[in-house]
Structure 1
Amino acid sequence: MFSSKSYLERKTGPYGVGRLSYLQSLVNEYQNTDDDDAKTQIIGNLANFAYDPINYEYMKALNVLDLFLDGLEDPDDKIVEFAISGICNACNYPVNKKHIIDNGGVKMVINCLSRPSEDTVLSAITSLIYLICPETKTEIVSLPVVECMLRLSKAKNPKLKNLATIFIEDHCDPSVVVEAQKIQQRHFHIPSTVSS
């Protein structure tokens, strides 16, 4: 459910902590803590706030998208998982989408396709679908990405399988799909043994 400003004001009351102040405290704590568990919890909370457009103005003021982009390159897989979740929640909004694209986010999201967490990969695929536009299409539906999607379309996890299939069917040029299939066939080709 999306929130309205009047709903947030009623919920917070005249003496409560406002949304901007609360998000500011989360960002400050994330940036100042050395506790990895706390960082993970905080970026997860920020990712949850990224789904609601009412928060986008606050997120922009606090550079939360930059925090998510930085999180995509963190060595901790849980930080990456929550960072890509935040990107996924926010990137369908045009201003956020532009910010992600302008700051090298497409490449970082593509890199998330090879992470071990299935949730990270699901959020990365969804983010790439939202980030496709004339400016990014060549990079997002490039041969290496299509080849990766073909592999994911054979995953045991039905969510991965279905989302990768949708990506291929809705966004990929058939000639690139054929080329990716040929590469996979060459890569996985096992020559038959000929006995003399």
Structure 2
Amino acid sequence: MLTEESENLVEFGIGGLCNLSADRGCRDQILESSGISLVTGCLSSRREETVLSAVATLMNLTTAASREHTTSPAVLQCMLRFSLSQSARLRNLACIFLQDCCTPAQVERAERELQGHTQTPLGIPLPEN
């Protein structure tokens, strides 16, 4: 559902996946199915609910083995941008992601890389409020 053209289907799909990813067995199945790339694709949605579910899903999918992928430089830069959002929900969730899923060194490196860039990472726009 995450690759559907309908924004409604994507929103409901990532919402369901977010709920499932809290279960260890489901989380492992998502990771084994290369689901991280599909979830990170939802970060570019203009729908705040979709983005919130994608961030929460990435948090649920972060393990010692998957951390390299769930906290890639592009994802970290995206979270840094989201941490500046006017939406308190998105801003707070992005800050929690940066605190709980990333090392301070990763965040510092992503901040340095982001400085001086006028475009959003990977062309990811901030969702509309």
Q: Same-fold call, TM > 0.5?
A: yes
- Gaps of at least 5 residues in structure 2 are 119-129
Q: Measure how far apart 1:142 and its partner are.
A: 1.1
Q: Measure how far apart 1:76 and its partner are.
A: 1.3
Determine the C-alpha separation between the residues in 1 that align with 2:23 and 2:100.
Answer: 20
- Superposed, 1:16-55 pairs within 5 Å as none
Aligned AA (2:90):
L
Which whole-Å deviations, capped at 9, do the CAs of 1:163-185 have from their partners, x for residues lacking one? 00000011112122112112221
The question of 1:96 aligning with 2:22 is answered no
Corresponding residue to 1:182 among 112, 115, 118: 112
Question: Hey, what does 1:154 align to over in structure 2?
Answer: 84
The runs of at least 4 aligned residues of structure 1 exceeding 3 Å deviation read none
Question: Hey, what does 1:145 align to over in structure 2?
Answer: 75
Question: Hey, what does 1:122 align to over in structure 2?
Answer: 52
Q: Larger relative CO (CA 8 A, sep 6+): 1 or 2?
A: 2
Question: Hey, what does 1:48 align to over in structure 2?
Answer: none
Determine the C-alpha separation between the residues in 2 that align with 1:179 and 1:165.
Answer: 16
Determine the C-alpha separation between the residues in 2 that align with 1:129 and 1:88.
Answer: 9
Q: Measure how far apart 1:158 and its partner are.
A: 0.3
Determine the C-alpha separation between the residues in 1 that align with 2:100 and 2:63.
Answer: 13
Which whole-Å deviations, capped at 9, do the CAs of 1:130-180 have from their partners, x for residues lacking one? 111122110001111000000000001100000000000111121221121
Aligned AA (1:101):
L
- Gaps of at least 5 residues in structure 1 are 1-70, 189-196
| TM-score, with structure 2 as normaliser | 0.88
Structure exhibiting the larger radius of gyration computed from Cα positions: 1
Aligned AA (1:91):
S
| TM-score, with structure 1 as normaliser | 0.58
